[in-house]
Amino acid sequence: MIQLDAVTKRYGDAYAVRSISMTAEAEQTTVLIGPSGSGKSTLLRLIIGLTQPDAGIVAVDGQQLTPTNVQSLRRRMGYVIQEGGLFPHLTGRANAALLARHLGWSADRIDARIGKLTQLVQLDPDRLSQYPTELSGGQRQRVSLMRALMLDPDVLLLDEPLGALDPMIRADLQDDLRDIFRRLGKTVVFVTHNIGEAAFFGDRVVLLREGQIEQTGSMTTLLDDPASPFVTNFIQAQRAPLEQLSVEDRE
């Protein structure tokens, strides 16, 4: 479980996150959604400790993030970003195994874990000896997910992991990801600006606007019982073109 209590983050005079309190429940997928600059990526970076709050508390499984425990807490969280963030000087296998090797895992243990993860993310094992530049975008994200899952963390943090993929691969990977989240029972925080993705993944959806929470709830709640005109507008902005198209089709 991840808890944020009155967390504020400023860059100069501008608030990236303004006194946000929220909880990401264990074994559920919490989707952070909102327009650019609404603070959703900053929230993720606060949780993994890449940036420190100016005020408020971030806690993972009841432990407040501090400079002394941030490293050990990070090892209990997997982090995947848009382009994967794979290291170009390492093969897919070496990327996935980097932290385990640093922690002194035996080669057998690493091989076994890699084998299991390769099946889980449905990656062709031959791809693992290739470097990131030699992989397709979808393959890169699967390797990136393997790296995040290597130590079998309780928490997965994903920052627009599908944002750079073309639609077909994206749909493929969406299915696989949701399957993995459910099967492994991970606590997932998923950042996207795409309403469809939020509806697809989110057990709970947190809609952000200018560093503050506009509304929290299931997608159905946001649709049926919007807290403000902004919620409706944000959702409609992505739905309208499709609906117009289908109305015209029907006519």
Binding site for other proteins (CB under 8 A): 45, 48-50, 71-72, 74-75, 77, 79, 81, 83, 85-91, 98-99, 102, 131-134, 147
CB 3, min distance to other proteins, A:
19
**Residue 12 class from Cβ within 10 Å (0-12 exposed, 13-18 middle, 19+ buried)?**
exposed
Minimum CB–partner distance for residue 5 and other proteins (Å) = 22
CB of 110 to other proteins, least distance (A): 15
Closest CB to other proteins among 187 and 215? 187
Q: Nearest distance from residue 126's CB to other proteins, in Å?
A: 16
Structure tokens at 115: 């084998």
| Angle, vertex CA 39, rays to CA 72 and CA 58, nearest 5 | 30
Nearest approach in angstroms of CB 240 to other proteins is: 33
Three-state SS string over the chain comes to CEEEEEEEEEECCEEEEEEEEEEECCCCEEEEECCCCCCHHHHHHHHCCCCCCCEEEEEECCEECCCCCHHHHHCCEEEECCCCCCCCCCCHHHHHHHHHHHCCCCHHHHHHHHHHHHHHCCCCHHHHHCCHHHCCHHHHHHHHHHHHHCCCCCEEEEECCCCCCCHHHHHHHHHHHHHHHHHHCCEEEEEECCHHHHHHHCCEEEEEECCEEEEEECHHHHHHCCCCHHHHHHHHHHHHHHHHHHHHHHC
Minimum gap (Å) between residue 216 Cβ and other proteins:
25
Q: Which is nearer to other proteins, 70 or 199 (CB)?
A: 70
Least distance in angstroms from the C-beta of 76 to other proteins: 8
